[in-house]
Amino acid sequence: MDLLNTLVDKGLRRELPSREEALAVLATSDDELLDVVAAAGKVRRQWFGRRVKLNYLVNLKSGLCPEDCSYCSQRLGSKAEILKYTWLKPDEASKAAAAGVAGGAKRVCLVASGRGPTDRDVDRVSETIGAIKEQNEGVEVCACLGLLSEGQAERLRGAGADAYNHNLNTSEGTYGDITTTHTYADRVDTVQKAHAAGLSACSGLIAGMGESDEDLVDVVYSLRELDPDSVPVNFLIPFEGTPLAKEWNLTPQRCLRILAMVRFVCPDVEVRIAGGREVHLRSMQPLALHLANSIFLGDYLTSEGQAGKADLDMITDAGFEVEGTDQVTLPEHRGGPCGSEAEAACGSGAHAACGSGAGSACGSGGGCGSHEEAAKSPVAEVPEARTDLVAVRRRGAGTDLAPNA
């Protein structure tokens, strides 16, 4: 396909595709799916080889959130029967993190429900970061605590945090339909605060909330503009007891197209398959490794993932390798060394990296011509709800049971 050849060429040069091209990826047919995966896989291998970075979540405080995010099982008014507990002590959180590191995780993500941290909460998390760093040499720590106030990102950075996660989740145009207790602009502001403090910014999206193709492209282009180092792609887990419990809109094929589109728009960033991969990708998970270079190991915040050993077996069986703590994830122009497969492009003076707002005239959405595929979006059959694949987490952090790692 001319479309895919064009997108591969742009991805290898870090050029921004046009919106029409991004929409055309989402509109490809099932007959073209393997071609789409193969094309995006060339871009993924150029910048990240066959390495897969493992991340591990520790839910520091579960449930009891005052925000009304419709997708979240921890939201205000949620009837989902999730674990609910207040802050883990630093030693408890460090013990949970150690299980993930022992399973191969290179980054530990510390998450707490709530609108945003108080200064006392930042002190508490800072102690936890120190405990984890002291006991696990070389591990990266990412904090995800909600909306940040002035000076809090700097304090987290001073405590040893490497990154901060705050997802945009959906397009600015539809954000008010998903959440009313804070705004899209609030989220953008927090990502910018993390950037300004010298933290590696991590920001992504949730697919499957009933959004259109245009909404998906909008949020991914907004992410490119924000220039995060990592982009988690979550697939909605429709928890019973939440407003989006009936939103079963995703097929494995749809998930792969979304990941491919993200890779083409943000070719040189860490694309992470996050929550919902087991529920929606199912047996197609190994194919997704050709698109993303990062996954979560084991369980999520309030739901269970597949066994950590199954994740490791999947990576090996698909011909990939777990990224070590001695390896830098990002290519040189984003702060890491050139891999053997990226040497030709690193430092070549090609177009600016994802999110810089530079790139070719195609980035304006109009310079490369239209693609008829975008107007022929196939009508997908609504998949059957797979509630049997949604398991509430009952082990690990906040319980007396061993974690899944």
User: 94 φ, ψ to 5°?
Assistant: -65, -40
Residue 16: partners with Cβ closer than 8 Å, 6 or more residues away: 10, 224, 265, 351, 359, 360, 362, 363
**72 a catalytic residue:** yes
User: 285 φ, ψ to 5°?
Assistant: -55, -45
Catalytic residue among 144, 202, 255, 354: 202
Rounded Cα–Cα distance for residues 73 and 83 (Å):
10
**45 a catalytic residue:** no
Q: Quick check: 405 and 99 in contact, CB under 8 A?
A: yes
Catalytic residue among 51, 69, 75, 346: 69
Annotated binding site for [2Fe-2S] cluster: 109, 142, 202, 272
Catalytic residue among 14, 109, 144, 334: 109
Rounded Cα–Cα distance for residues 58 and 397 (Å):
7
**266 a catalytic residue:** no
**69 a catalytic residue:** yes
Rounded Cα–Cα distance for residues 255 and 261 (Å):
10
Annotated binding site: 65, 69, 72, 109, 142, 202, 272
Rounded Cα–Cα distance for residues 314 and 310 (Å):
6
Q: How far is CA 378 from CA 1, 31, 162, in A?
A: 18, 12, 42
Annotated binding site for [4Fe-4S] cluster: 65, 69, 72
Catalytic residue among 72, 144, 255, 346: 72
Alpha-carbon dihedral of residues 154, 191, 265, 232, nearest 10 degrees? Answer: 90
HSE, side-chain direction, 13 A CA sphere, residue 242: 25
Q: How far is CA 398 from CA 12, 93, 158, 251, 305, in A?
A: 44, 9, 27, 32, 17
257-284 burial: b if 16+ Cβ within 10 Å, else e: bbbbbbbbbbbbbbbbbbbbbbbbbeeb
Q: Quick check: 221 and 215 in contact, CB under 8 A?
A: no
Catalytic residue among 50, 272, 334, 393: 272
Catalytic residue among 65, 144, 266, 346: 65
Beta bridge partners of 200: 163
Rounded Cα–Cα distance for residues 286 and 58 (Å):
25
DSSP 303: B
**346 a catalytic residue:** no
Beta bridge partners of 349: none
**272 a catalytic residue:** yes
Catalytic residue among 44, 50, 142, 157: 142
Q: Residues with catalytic annotation? A: 65, 69, 72, 109, 142, 202, 272
